[in-house]
Amino acid sequence: MSSKLRWHPFLKEWVIVAGKVQERPVLPARNACPLCYGGVEVPKPFDIAVFENRYPSLTKETSDIIPWEDDLYKLEGGRGVCEVVLYTMDHDSSMSRMPLEQIEKLVLVWEDRYKDLGSLDFIKYVFIFENRGEIIGVSLHHPHGQIYAFPYIPPIIEKEIKSSNEFYNQKNKCLFCSILERELNDGVRVVYENKHFVAFMPFYGRYPFELHIYSKRHLGSLPEMTYTEKMYLAEIIQKITKAYDNVYGFNFSYMMVFHQKPVKGDFPNYHFHIEFYSLHRAKDKIKYLAGVESGAGTFINPLPPEESAELMRDSIRRL
Ligand SMILES: [Zn+2]
Ligand SMILES: [Zn+2]
Ligand SMILES: [Zn+2]
77: Cα separation from own chain's centroid: 24
Residues at the binding site are 33, 36, 91, 142
187 shares its domain with 208: yes
115, 97: one domain: yes
For residue 13, what are the β-bridge partners?
8
Q: Which of 109, 11, 3, 7 is nearest to 58 (CA)?
A: 3
Identify whether the C-beta of residue 214 lies closer than 8 Å to the C-beta of residue 198. Answer: yes
Q: Does one domain contain both 190 and 312?
A: yes
Per-residue pLDDT tens over the stretch 80-89: 999 999 999 9
Q: Which among 99, 130, 150 is the end of a domain?
A: 150
Whether 311 and 185 map to the same domain: the answer is: yes
Which residues are near ligand 3, the ion (C-beta closer than 5 Å)?
259
Clarify whether residues 169 and 117 are in a common domain: no
| 14 in the same domain as 109 | yes
| Number of domains present in the structure of the chain | 2
Could you tell me the residue range of the domain that residue 139 belongs to? 4-150
Residue 64 CA, ligand 1 centroid: distance in Å:
35
Instruction: List active site positions.
Output: 144
Q: Bigger pLDDT: 69 or 18?
A: 69
Q: Check residue 135 and give its pLDDT.
A: 85
146, 173: one domain: no
State residue 29's pLDDT score: 64
Share of the chain above pLDDT 70, in %: 96
pLDDT at position 20 is 58
CATH number of the domain encompassing residue 304: 3.30.428.10
For residue 97, the tally of other CB atoms under 10 A from its CB is 16
Phi, psi values for residue 276, rounded to 5°: -110, 135
Name the average pLDDT for the chain.
94
Q: How far does the centroid of ligand 2 lie from the alpha carbon of residue 173, in Å?
A: 8
Tell me the C-alpha distance between 176 and 212, whole Å. 11
Q: Are residues 144 and 167 in the same domain?
A: no
Q: Helix (H, G, I), strand (E, B), or coil: what is residue 162?
A: helix
141 and 56 part of one domain = yes
In the reported structure, the alpha carbon of residue 130 is separated from the centroid of ligand 2 by a whole-number distance in angstroms of: 24
Binding site as annotated, residues for Zn(2+): 33, 36, 91, 142
Answer yes or no: are the C-beta atoms of 109 and 223 closer than 8 Å: no
Are residues 312 and 194 located together in one domain of the fold? yes
Q: Residue 86 Cα, ligand 1 centroid: separation in angstroms?
A: 9
Q: Domain ends where: 100, 130, 150?
A: 150
| Whether residues 126 and 188 fall in one domain | no
CB 132 within 8 A of CB 209: no
Task: Enter the ipTM.
Answer: 0.98
Examine the fold and report which residue of 150, 165, 190 is the final residue of a domain before the chain moves on.
150
Q: What is the mean pLDDT of residues 157-180?
A: 98
Identify the band that residue 26 occupies on the pLDDT scale cut at 50, 70 and 90.
low
Residues 130 and 190 occupy one common structural domain: no
